[in-house]
Structure 1
Amino acid sequence: MLPTPTKYTLVAGAGEGQTPLNAFDRALLESGAGNVNLIRVSSILPPGARYVETLPLPPGALVPVAYGAIKSSTPGDRIAAAVAVGIPEQGFGVIMEYSGYNYREEAERIIRQMVEEAFAMRGMEIKTYMVKAVEHRVQKAGAAFAGLLMWY
């Protein structure tokens, strides 16, 4: 059985590379998640998990993350990624991820609606809302990444 994470942070980064995968790697590095192994999880923040500004992650660590990411190799494309979490007064939080061909502000608007809908479906009220987003204008091969990293 895996332990339940007790800490989390929100990160975002964008980057260019010679290939879309290299651009994604640069976006991970810019966000602070480039030297770990990301384990993609669905969208629930454990009850009682506390926010920290940064997580000191050892290189190669297996890190649970909910994330949105996008890659493009079309010069001029505007791409964006966002992650948000809503947290009720008590209980678990709900994380939403988004990526698309638009501006950061539009990604933030869309993801806010996603979190609000997720809470409405659960009959919960948002007490705390946090969002992290990034946008990028592609030059050759670009990527945008936004994630909620969890740790122990």
Structure 2
Amino acid sequence: MPREFFLTSGRGTSPTSPMNAFDKALMEAGIANCNLLLVSSIIPPKCRERRWKKLDVGTITPVVMAKAIGGPGETIGAGLAWAWEEGGRMGLVAEVEGHYDRRALISALDARIKEMAETRNFKIKDVKRRFEVMKVPQGVFGCVVVAMVFVL
């Protein structure tokens, strides 16, 4: 079970393809050379937030990730909101991705983390957010990525 996690994010553009824009966003986030394993939105008990950590090439890396890809002139946004249950038993992570500006992205993150807590019948404390928003330049594809990276 993970003992620590950190947050990272990145942006990328490419004239070639959306996949190349995604790769560049992962490069900026510092996790492009890991084998990313998408996991659901639960922070395990006793798992603590830490500063960014360089991971070895090829590391199998569990992540909760939000990713948005867009074309020229589009506004895209991706973000995570996370919070601990008041008793500290577990944490929740909400993801938002798509065609969002900053204000709409924050509103969607807040609504999703709130509903996740209500579904579990508990109160959360100290909601944190990390997000990226980009207006994709003309002539390129764009990608924004935000990831909670679990350290095993």
CA distance in 1, matches of 2:53, 2:107: 27
* Counterpart among 119, 129, 132 of residue 117 in structure 2: 119
SS at match of 1:145: strand
* 1:81-136 deviation digits (Å, cap 9, x = unpaired): 00121112321111111101121332122111100110011111112322110011
Q: Runs of 5+ in structure 2 lacking a partner?
A: none
> 1:67 aligned to 2:59?
no
RMSD: 1.2
> 1:146 aligned to 2:142?
no
| Identity rate, percent | 28
CA distance in 2, matches of 1:78, 1:60: 32
Q: Runs of 5+ in structure 1 lacking a partner?
A: none
* TM-score (norm. length: structure 2): 0.92
CA distance in 1, matches of 2:95, 2:120: 18
* TM-score (norm. length: structure 1): 0.92
Partner of 1:85 in structure 2?
82
Between Structure 1 and Structure 2, how many residues are aligned?
A: 148
Runs of 4+ in 1 over 4 A off after TM superposition: none
CA distance in 1, matches of 2:7, 2:60: 17
Partner of 1:7 in structure 2?
4
SS at match of 2:124: coil
